[in-house]
Amino acid sequence: MSHNYNVSKKLGVLRTDEFDIWLAEQQPKLRTLILARLDLVSLGHFGNHKRFEGLIELKWLNGTRVNTFMWGTAVVVALYGGNKNGQSRDIKKAKKIRDEVLEGTRTLHK
């Protein structure tokens, strides 16, 4: 039996410098899990997440959090990462970065 999977729309994933710096500081195994999750997000599979105040918080059982948002209908921007302990500070920072992206004062990359 053959399955015909049709991914009608792949989402672009852009990243901030802050996200990349944070990601580089993580252990290799966690870094791999986060990058794999972003690949799934690009296919529209967000997994365990919470949506609030225009953000999408990707969540892992170990407490890791990655704050993203949808930009238009086709781009997910990875803003910043952290863990549950620093969650409120990380959310504030992610909102500030998101606002800069929307204002056009923030550079993003793939």
Set out the domains of the chain in order of their start, with CATH numbers: 12-103 (3.30.2310.20)
Mean pLDDT, rounded, of the chain: 88
So what's the pLDDT on residue 66? 95
Share of the chain above pLDDT 70, in %: 93
Q: Which residues of 31-52 are buried (b: 16+ CB within 10 A; e: fewer)?
A: eeebeebbeebeeeebeeeeee
Q: Are 77 and 101 in contact (CB under 8 A)?
A: yes
pLDDT tens digit string along 48-67? Answer: 999 999 899 999 999 999 99
Name the one residue in this structure whose structure tokens are 């999977």: 5
Q: What is the pLDDT of residue 75?
A: 79
Helices (H), 43-68: none
Percent of the chain's residues with pLDDT above 90: 58
CA angle 70, 88, 102 (to 5 degrees): 30
Beta bridge partner(s), residue 32: none
11 vs 24, higher pLDDT: 24
Q: Is 65 helix (H, G, I), strand (E, B) or coil?
A: strand
Confidence of residue 6 (pLDDT cuts 50, 70, 90): low
How high is the pLDDT of residue 8?
61
Among residues 67, 57, 69, the alpha carbon closest in space to that of 102 is found at 69
Tens of pLDDT, residue by residue over 80-98, are 888 888 888 888 889 999 9
* Phi, psi torsion values for 62, nearest 5 degrees: -80, 5
The structure's pTM equals: 0.83
